[in-house]
Amino acid sequence: MKTADNHWYAIRTRHDSKAESLLAEECEEVFFPKEEKKTSSGILQRRAIIPHVLFIKTSHDRALELESRSRKEDGMLVPFWIYRYHKDEAIQIITEQQINLLRLLTADDTSRCEIFSKTDFRKGQRVRVTGGIFEGYRGTVQRVRKNRHVVIEIEGICLVMLPFIHPDLLEAIDSPD
């Protein structure tokens, strides 16, 4: 059921695929980021990008009700827990912008993030993307395998490295606005 009161929530479960199919019937939308990888024997397999984490779009009350039902024996039979904020234990809303970022980064046609030929960005510096498909996203410059990447945090759930962003499309920012 689609309503303006629906938001995205991240859930943790040990049974990702089963939870995905069961929750698809219960929620407006379910997003379970996966990628295709070849095994050593050459077989193509789909696997979770963020193991045991799915995103559901539903209302606050419905999310809590589903979580409660998931833990009862006569409930959904797939236990899961909704991510909560550390400070007050309220369930954590994942913004539409963060979900869109995850969708972009888990699409089949993306490439690794690297920042080239710009020496004025230092490790730990906050930056904003000023153009391209990632325009408006904010992150922190980090070194990963000797290359600089823009890393965006989805609070308490995961860190995401953006695909290649030309340094001309980045600007330094002072605060996490």
- String of DSSP letters for 113-133: ----S-TT--TT-EEEE-SST
CA-based end-to-end distance of the chain: 33
> In terms of domains, do 59 and 106 share one?
no
> pLDDT exceeding 70 applies to what percent of the chain?
81
Within-domain flag for 1: no
Question: Is residue 2 included in any domain, yes or no?
Answer: no
Task: Say how many domains are in the chain.
Answer: 2
- Stronger pLDDT, 1 or 59, i.e. the higher one: 59
What mean pLDDT is predicted for residues 140-155?
A: 72
How many residues are there in the chain?
Answer: 177
Residues 139 and 155 in one domain: yes
8 confidence band (pLDDT: 50, 70, 90): very high
Same-domain check for residues 172 and 126? yes
Instruction: Quote the pTM value.
Output: 0.69
- Give me the pLDDT at residue 115, please: 42
Q: Which of 11-15, 38-42, 44-48, 140-144 has the lowest mean pLDDT?
A: 140-144
29 pairs with which residues across the strands? 57
CA atoms within 13 A on the CB side of 123: 5
How, if at all, do strands 138-144 and 126-129 pair?
antiparallel
Q: Does the pLDDT value for residue 118 go beyond 70?
A: no
From 61, 94, 127, the end of a domain falls on: 94
Range of the domain at 88: 7-94
The per-residue pLDDT for 75 is 62
Tens digit of pLDDT for each residue in 72-101? 766 667 899 999 988 888 999 999 988 988
Res 144 pLDDT > 80 = no
* DSSP code for 131: S
The three-state secondary structure class of 87 is coil
